[in-house]
Amino acid sequence: MESLGVLLTLPMNPYLEAELHRRCHLFRLWESPPARRKDFLRANAPSIRAVVGNAFVGADAETIDALPRLEIVASYSVGLDKVDLARCRERGIRVTYTPDVLTDDAADLAIGLSIATLRRLFDANRYVRAGSWKAKGDYKLTSRFSGKTVGLLGLGRIGLAVAKRAEAFGCPICYHSRTRKPNVNYKYFPSVLELAANCDVLIVACSLTEETRRIINRGVINTLGPKGVLVNIGRGPHVDEPELISALVEGRLGAAALDVYEHEPDVPEELFRLENVVLTPHVGSATWETRKAMADLVLGNLEAHVLNKPLLTPFL
């Protein structure tokens, strides 16, 4: 696919970048300074037929409009909130993503974050590394994870994988999603508020759409309550972040584990001081194994497109 002009929006993976460079005609968006970006796009638009974006920089309306020859957006992510799907539909542009290959990592992280938050693992680490264990005994009790009710917001691939893992800890599972899922034994709640009222740990694992923007709002947070735990492995904009912070500070929400934020990579500093949070820098799929699999999927989709074969993981 040497003739395929591919616009890579960010340096997201050395292997992916090397392969795209080797096998396609690669344009690196970040090599042009932001102020000159429009010119960069205009200059190269005749050659660019594919965009590879990720969860940070995808293909928004402006980018799509600047690329009249764009045929396919192959996202290095499973979330497509940074791709203007409506525009793609209008133009008949294909969109692929990376489902399944990162399901395990995201689910593993959700459980790891849940236990780490309830058991205050970060705090324990900090305590020992500060040399505090020599100085004083610490009999602070933390909350058990096993047997806690896990509420899933979104029961797609990732939600189901989280549920399967949580079940091994004896956790009752409940969920809310757009529609009730058939063939699923978990208790369904028709609203996120009812979900929050009936679970101990609420895990956000749905896609970001206009309907789910700030779905975790003050009401949900207050309902989850002073003993409740919020785990966000979805997207930052799922949560009303300022509201979350004040709830954590005031104790209206027990604890939170966040892998995503409204304005990554900027994380509100008020969170840094809190003991009842765990903060990770969007590492939901950040393992060697999975990122390589995601890269191979992107490359495979592009190749299929060029060869006029069925796309491996089409969304549109």
Partner 1 sequence: MRLSGLPIPEPSKFSLPVLKTRQPLRRFAPAPAMMSVEKPAAETPAVEREHLPPVLLLRPLLSHFHDALAPKFRFLKPWESPLPRDEFLAAHAGDVRALLCVGPFPVDAGLLACLPKLELVVTGSAGVNHIDVAECRRRGIAVTNAGNAFTDDVADYAVALLIDVLRQISAADRYVRRGLWPIQGDYPLGRKLGGKRVGIVGLGSIGSAVAKRLEAFGCTILYYSRSRKPSISYKFFSNVTNLAAESDVLVIACALTTETYHIINKEVMQALGRDGIIINVGRGALVDENELVKCLMEEEIGGAGLDVFENEPAVPQELFHMDNVVLSHHRAVFTPESFHGVLEVVLGNLEAFFSNRPLLTPISE
Angle made by CA atoms 158, 161, 163, in degrees to the nearest 5: 110
| Least distance between partner 1 and beta carbon 224 (Å) | 20
| Least distance between partner 1 and beta carbon 164 (Å) | 6
Tokens at residue 69, please?
């020859």
| Least distance between partner 1 and beta carbon 312 (Å) | 20
Q: Which residues make up the interface to partner 1 (CB under 8 A)? A: 104-105, 108-109, 111-113, 115-116, 119, 121-122, 124-125, 127-129, 131, 133-134, 136-147, 164-165, 167-170, 264-267, 269, 272, 278-283, 286-291
Q: Which is nearer to partner 1, 36 or 144 (CB)?
A: 144
Helix (H/G/I), strand (E/B), else coil: 150: strand
| Least distance between partner 1 and beta carbon 180 (Å) | 24
DSSP sequence for 299-316:
HHHHHHHHTTPPPSSB--
Distance CA 268, CA 257 (A): 14
Q: Which is nearer to partner 1, 168 or 307 (CB)?
A: 168
How far, rounded to the nearest angstrom, does the alpha carbon of residue 59 sit from its chain's CA centroid? 17
**Phi and psi, residue 226, nearest 5°:** -65, -15
Q: How many Cα neighbours within 13 Å face the side chain of 72?
A: 27
| Least distance between partner 1 and beta carbon 134 (Å) | 6
As a whole number of Å, the CA-based R_g of the chain is: 21
What's 216's DSSP letter? B
Residue from 299, 266, 298 nearest 282 by CA? 266
| Least distance between partner 1 and beta carbon 193 (Å) | 28
Residue from 280, 239, 284, 260 nearest 109 by CA? 284
Q: Which is nearer to partner 1, 170 or 226 (CB)?
A: 170
Any residues with CB less than 8 A from the CB of 269 and at least 6 apart, and which?
Answer: none
Q: Which is nearer to partner 1, 33 or 137 (CB)?
A: 137
Task: Decide: 81 and 209 in contact? Cβ < 8 Å.
Answer: yes
Distance CA 83, CA 80 (A): 5
Task: Decide: 75 and 295 in contact? Cβ < 8 Å.
Answer: no
Q: Which is nearer to partner 1, 56 or 188 (CB)?
A: 56
Q: Which is nearer to partner 1, 26 or 278 (CB)?
A: 278
Active site residues: 235, 264, 282
What's 210's DSSP letter? T
